[in-house]
């Protein structure tokens, strides 16, 4: 049994805290997910994360607060206005607060994400932020997952109590979506300039994406110093144009998680690495973070993802425990699992 020497060299570099560049990442991703080399990548990434984060995991929660046929026209999303089965609706305030309370009642959720469509009502979002801020009282951070926004809007979000934003130039942005990649980059820059934490992810990964495409997307996150890096596989939403390509396996996703982890060794702003959707293999391959979800979900065909694709906080904590994590990270410190 002999490991590829170039792979071994890259893994040793990462272990020594030396930069793993885009070319290195593409090389690692060129190996089959069932190869000895891929197994070595997952093991190396697993060790790095356990050491780096003191064997502490993180649970994040997201509430999809609205639904509408979306002008972003992402060819992988259940809200795409060209084929969606959804009609426009808003989560009412009572339901919203009940969902938020369920996610945060035990004070073990690091951050609560509020998700809108690509086009959204900014003032209505601020009203929701004000409502939920009274509930979380700083114990759980607030993060937004919304469409593109300006530098001034980023400052308004920060002033309202938001600590971060999930925003990505996704794989084949502008080709598989109607959104211009430069607009995504402008929003990422606005997030960073406002002092908000930038949550990034390599997504949505499909079987057709090349190692070079994945490597470029992964390394871009480190170039802009993300607070969180992650990997997410694409779900073949029925009726969506990209569903015909199918889905990558969880073990291939775990390989991408591992390479993402190895790529981040020089990123000093990084605090977590997520695998989405939550699974044990990813948590044993470098990831230490999983998401609970409720409300609207772009990978689901049901108006409320609870009981379908969405998992709750208890499930996520149990998954971290099964993966061997001993504590969870919170803004104020660590809690035992």
| Tens-digit pLDDT profile for residues 24-44 | 999 999 999 999 999 999 999
H or E element at residue 87: none
pLDDT band at residue 247 under the 50/70/90 scheme: very high
Pairing state between β 228-233 and 202-205: parallel
- pLDDT at res. 307: 85
DSSP secondary structure letters along 94-156: HHHHHHHHHHHTTS--SEEEEE--SS--HHHHHHHHHHHHHHHTTSSEEEEE-S---HHHHHH
Mean pLDDT of the chain: 96
Query: Do 62 and 145 form a contact (C-beta atoms < 8 A)?
Result: yes
Whether pLDDT at 132 is above 90: yes
How would residue 12 be classed by pLDDT, with cut points 50, 70 and 90? Answer: very high
Percent of the chain with pLDDT over 70: 100
13 pLDDT exceeds 90? Answer: yes
- For 5-336, CATH number out of 2.40.50.840, 3.20.20.70, 3.40.50.2000, 3.30.750.200 equals 3.20.20.70
pLDDT-derived band of residue 288, with 50, 70 and 90 as boundaries?
very high
Measuring CA to CA, how many Å separate 235 from each of 138, 170, 187?
A: 34, 14, 25
Tell me the average pLDDT across 57-73.
97
pTM for the model: 0.97
Residue 228 in this model has a pLDDT that exceeds 90? yes
For residue 240, what are the contacts with CB-CB under 8 A and spacing of at least 6? Answer: 75, 76, 77, 78, 80, 83
Q: Does the pLDDT of residue 59 top 90, yes or no?
A: yes
Mean pLDDT, range 47-65, rounded to an integer: 98
**pLDDT computed for residue 138 by the predictor:** 78
- Rounded average pLDDT over 14-22: 96
Extents of the domains making up the chain: 5-336
Angstrom distance (rounded) from CA 176 to CA 81: 14
**In this predicted model, what pLDDT tens digit does every residue of 172-189 receive, in sequence order?**
999 999 999 999 999 999
3-state helix, strand, coil in the chain (%, to 5): 40, 20, 40
| Residues 282 and 52: beta-carbon distance below 8 Å | no
3-class secondary-structure state, position 217: helix
Confidence class of residue 215 from pLDDT cuts 50, 70 and 90?
very high
How would residue 114 be classed by pLDDT, with cut points 50, 70 and 90?
very high
Does the pLDDT of residue 137 top 90, yes or no? Answer: no
Give start and end residues of each alpha helix (H) in the chain.
Answer: 5-15, 22-29, 36-52, 93-104, 122-136, 151-159, 181-193, 211-223, 250-263, 280-283, 313-322
Rounded CA separation 28/109 (Å): 33
Per-residue pLDDT band at 164 (split at 50, 70, 90)? very high
- Output the six-digit token pair for 71: 């002008």
pLDDT at 1: 81
């Amino acid at each position: 049994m002999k490991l590829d020497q170039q792979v071994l060299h890259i893994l040793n570099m990462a272990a020594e805290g030396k930069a793993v560049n885009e070319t290195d990442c593409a090389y690692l991703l060129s190996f089959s997910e069932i190869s000895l080399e891929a197994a070595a990548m997952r093991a190396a990434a697993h060790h790095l994360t356990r050491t780096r984060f003191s064997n502490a995991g993180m649970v994040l929660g997201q509430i999809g607060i609205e639904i509408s046929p979306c002008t972003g026209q992402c060819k992988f999303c259940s809200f795409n206005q060209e084929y969606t089965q959804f009609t426009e609706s808003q989560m009412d305030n009572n339901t919203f607060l009940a969902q938020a309370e369920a996610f945060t009642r035990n004070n073990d959720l690091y951050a609560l994400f509020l998700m809108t469509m690509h086009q959204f009502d900014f003032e209505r979002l601020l009203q929701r932020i004000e409502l939920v801020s009274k509930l979380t009282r700083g114990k759980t951070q607030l993060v937004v997952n919304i469409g593109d926004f300006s530098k001034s809007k980023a400052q308004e979000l920060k002033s309202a109590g938001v600590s971060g934003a999930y925003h990505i130039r996704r794989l084949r942005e502008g080709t598989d979506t109607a959104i211009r990649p430069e607009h995504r980059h402008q929003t990422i820059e606005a997030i960073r300039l406002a002092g908000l934490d930038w949550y990034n992810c390599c997504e949505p990964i499909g079987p057709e994406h090349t190692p070079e495409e994945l490597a470029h997307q992964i390394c871009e996150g480190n170039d802009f110093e993300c607070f969180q890096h992650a990997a997410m596989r694409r779900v073949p939403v029925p009726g969506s144009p990209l569903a015909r390509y199918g889905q990558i396996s969880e073990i291939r996703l775990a390989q991408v998680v591992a390479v993402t982890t190895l790529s981040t060794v020089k990123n000093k702003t990084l605090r977590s690495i997520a695998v989405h959707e939550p699974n044990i293999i990813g948590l044993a391959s470098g990831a230490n973070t999983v998401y609970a979800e409720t409300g609207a979900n772009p990978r689901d065909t049901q108006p409320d993802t609870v009981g379908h694709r969405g998992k709750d906080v208890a499930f996520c904590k149990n998954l971290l425990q099964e993966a061997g994590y001993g504590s969870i990270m919170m803004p104020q410190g660590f809690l035992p699992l």
